[in-house]
Amino acid sequence: MWTLLQIELFKIFKRPRTYIAFIAIAAIVILIQLALYLDGKTYIGFLLQSIERFNVEGKILNGYFVCYFILQTLLIHVPLLIALVGGDMIAGEANMGTLRLLISKPISRSTLLVSKFLASSIYTLLLLIWMAILSLFVSLLVFGSGDLMVFQSQVIIQIPQSDVFWRYLAAFGFAAIAMITVAALSFFLSLFAENSIGPIVAAMSIVIVCTILTTMDLPLFLSMKPYLFTSHMLGWKGFFDIQATTGNSAVPGSIQNLPGILRSAFILIVHIVGFVVAAVVIFKKKDVLS
């Protein structure tokens, strides 16, 4: 398994297309950072204009705020980049004609498939680590540190500086589960095609449709939300939903709805396991005709 995993990672990182996602993330993050660096005060002013009698001390536009802003924007689009690799894992091999060579080697089909999935998961994790380095550490370097202000529809949440960093680690950990779910979906779809375009587009379409259903507050869609994995992918935000005392002071180290976050994480993990197990079962019986 270890040898196979090494081989799969070698193949992934030898392909130029693998780096498209890293370049795309770097480009978007740097552009957002540049925009906020040049004109962030106007944006903060816009956010604060509807809030009366609210005195702000300290620097709102700090590295933590910029990172939160980037994550909100990017974590919706990163699945599309992950599908580029996940959707190519089997279909790409079928398209190149190398799948038949792989299967004729003395390796069990399930081992081959699991090592391929692990490789795409590692790629996903590396993409998130890259995103964390750029959006969190570079932002802290450029914009400095401070309390995190989270603007929600009804309230503003202020999290003390000393209580923020671990929340980001937890949020990136949750995002990793969410993104691996997308990798598992695109990987599963990759079984049914002999060209990687199909599963990539199919995975993107499923994520987009489910995300739209998740964000629309129509009664019919509301009843569907708990069953859509995209609803649970946004669970990382829960780490920034801090508990407050009766005097509206933040309780350090607290999370408003930890069971909700854990439930979402569990549902996503069930999806991952479901997609991978289904892929293995189907692949073991699949005739390789490509």
Partner 1 sequence: MSAIIQVSNLSKQYREVKAVNDISFTVNTGDIYGFLGQNGAGKSTTIRMLLTLIEPTAGTIELFGKNLNSHRKAILRQIGAVIEKPDLYKYLTGYENLSLFAKMSGVAVNEKKLNDQLEQVGLTERAHSKVRTYSQGMKQRLGIAIALIHDPQLIILDEPTNGLDPQGIADIRNLILHLSRHQGKTILVSSHLLHEIELIANRMLIIDKGKKIMEGTVAALVDPARTMVHLEVTNPQQVVTWLQSSKWSANLQEHSNNVILLQMNKPQVPELTADLVNAGANIMALQPQNSLESYFLSLTTENRHVDTFTN
Residues of this chain that bind partner 1 (CB under 8 A): 3-4, 7, 10-11, 14-16, 96-98, 100-108, 285, 287-289
Smaller CB separation from partner 1, 98 or 249: 98
Smaller CB separation from partner 1, 11 or 59: 11
CB of 11 to partner 1, least distance (A): 7
The token pair that represents 287 in the structure block: 């005739």
Residue with structure tokens 């509206």? 248
CB of 89 to partner 1, least distance (A): 14
Smaller CB separation from partner 1, 7 or 122: 7
Q: What is the DSSP string of 142-175?
A: HH---PEEEE-SS-EEEE-GGGTHHHHHHHHHHH
Smaller CB separation from partner 1, 142 or 288: 288
Residues 264, 239: Cα–Cα separation, whole Å: 12
Q: What is the DSSP string of 37-60?
A: HHHHHHHHHHHHTT--S----S-S
List the Cα angle 232/235/240 in 5-degree steps: 165
Residue 59 CA: distances (Å) to CA of 29, 40, 55, 145? 21, 11, 12, 8
CB of 105 to partner 1, least distance (A): 4
CB of 210 to partner 1, least distance (A): 33
Residues 225, 108: Cα–Cα separation, whole Å: 38
The token pair that represents 189 in the structure block: 């779809």
Q: How many C-beta neighbours within 10 Å does residue 177 have?
A: 21
Smaller CB separation from partner 1, 7 or 170: 7
Smaller CB separation from partner 1, 106 or 259: 106
CB of 118 to partner 1, least distance (A): 16
CB of 229 to partner 1, least distance (A): 32
Q: How many C-beta neighbours within 10 Å does residue 173 have?
A: 13
Backbone CA torsion sign across 41, 42, 48, 49? positive
CB of 3 to partner 1, least distance (A): 5
Residues 87, 199: Cα–Cα separation, whole Å: 5
Sequence-ordered strand ranges (E) for 89-246: 148-151, 156-159
Smaller CB separation from partner 1, 35 or 197: 197
